[in-house]
Amino acid sequence: MNRTEKLEPLLTTDELAAYLNVPVATIYAWRYHRTGPPGFRIGRYVRYRRRDVEEWLRGRLQEK
């Protein structure tokens, strides 16, 4: 990555829940069951890349 590239902002669990219009508990349940969008830990916090969330959503559309 060069100096002019910007990292994409990461979503918190609360932001992801708001974006998907679901309760935060649903995000945690999806994570526990490994059925939701992929997230990763940074220290004790879980973060989500918007592109991973969008890819997960596209996959959900294709399953129907």
Residue 5 lies in a domain: no
Domain assignment of residue 24, given as a range: 10-63
Mean pLDDT of 33-54: 96
Q: Are 11 and 42 in contact (CB under 8 A)?
A: no
Half-sphere exposure of 7 toward its Cβ, with a 13 Å CA cutoff? 5
Residue 2 lies in a domain: no
Residue 24 lies in a domain: yes
Cα 14 from Cα 60, distance rounded (Å): 21
Residue 1 lies in a domain: no
In the chain, the number of structural domains is 1
Confidence band for 8, pLDDT divided at 50, 70 and 90? confident
* pTM for this entry: 0.84
Mean pLDDT of 10-29: 98
Residue 45 lies in a domain: yes
Q: Is 33 or 7 the better-scoring residue by pLDDT?
A: 33
